[in-house]
Structure 1
Amino acid sequence: MGQRRKIGSEIPETLIAEEQEAEEGRFFACYLLSSRSPRYKGHTYIGFTVNPRRRIRQHNGEIAQGAWRTKRKRPWEMVLCIYGFPTNVSALQFEWAWQHPTVSKAVRQAAASFKSPRGLVSKIKLAYTMLTLPPWQSLNITVKFFSTQYTKHSAGCPRLPEQMKVKVCSMDELPSCTKPSDDLLENEDEWCHERECDEDMNSSTLPEETLLDFRTHNSADDQQSDSGIRMNE
């Protein structure tokens, strides 16, 4: 597809339907990390992944590739994972808006009521708030925490739409891409390398990202096509 679409902008319903069919069997998720380093206590990181178990290992340096900007704040703990997005475009839109709530057109009005968008508790509350907004409120989203230690932070969060689920599970119980491909995983590393952002960065100075030349994966005959994410500087 050669259409240009801004992350955080609306996508035509017909296009969503086409991409949802093409991405059937895929797993697209956004996640929240918290640094366990005493030096960086309270620091968080928001990202996108198709394989959470693999991704946290990258962040913690257990396997190579990707997550290079989070190296100095290791070790990291995955606090929660949000999945159920119909396409990677949808998940990337959510991730970008979660990272840049004061810039995102879809989120900035709601984010204006936050004293600060930084910090673990605020990031959890922001995610819950975003899921009640028009771009995402009709999706069949699941929010999974990996420890009851963090579920208490959802107490003051907005009530999620009734079709959404909140669960606590171990990392091993979390699903991942059901049609794994080296191509998709390699692109995930490339996307994260280009887009990594944590709370140390000033989101108000960042340009709004765009998706260019998005091509779907896994056609009916399971042939793969290249997929790329580019950024406007």
Structure 2
Amino acid sequence: MDAAWFYMESIPGHGETAWLQRDEVRHATSSRRLSSDDTITLFDGRGTVARAILGRQRDPDGGLEVRIESIELRNEPVPLIELVSAMPKGDRITTMLDGAAQAGMSEFRPLDCEHGRLNSSSIRHQRWRRVLLSACKQSRRPHVPRVLESMDVSSRLASVGEDELLLALHPGGIGFTDLMQGLDASARPSRISMMIGPEGGFSQGELDEITAAGVQCVDLGEGILRIEIAAIISCALAAQLACWSTG
């Protein structure tokens, strides 16, 4: 099994030393029960991944010295997977971001809908960043997903790129297996975007806009799923679609 992953904002070069921050040290020594001379993996969230050895020396802020043994830069997977979603109620956004990041999400864009309006207090970038970092450590993903500016349905439809595949989740749409069979594998989109409406669903006006824009609606099957569960499933399916389109 790979060595446990820990975040470091700026990773030095091979053979150099750095300080693992106090919160990461606490996780390494308490939760992971690691000690000096143990091997860990560092990542900066932007593709740099390093193998490092825990040292013994502490800094005044509680950081722990680590020595870089090897370092590499990993490219971000293509196509990117963008989750364009209405916000679930309460704290379920944490579940959504954690699961979607582990499933392959590259970017998250909050979606403002007629049946699910956004407000500024619901956008909590610092907290979401911590959730996404934790998900990347768990899933060994070197790129932390980005949180993009919110849009409404009309604006997002108007911003679709030429080599982007935008799909909207809606009951009665095409099944995912049928969708894959009907797509041209040679098209190779640079971005797969999954649009998910609020708990009340897209309004009829929004559905008319989606249809007029030529966006394919996808049905995840029987039953009504909560937003966060639909988001996680859709990102996992998009990751499979990404593998298929690049195969």
Q: Same fold (TM over 0.5)?
A: no
- Give the TM-score normalised by the residue count of structure 2: 0.25
- Give the TM-score normalised by the residue count of structure 1: 0.26
Higher relative contact order (CA 8 A, sep 6+): 1
User: Rg bigger for which structure?
Assistant: 2
Give the structure with the higher percent strand.
2
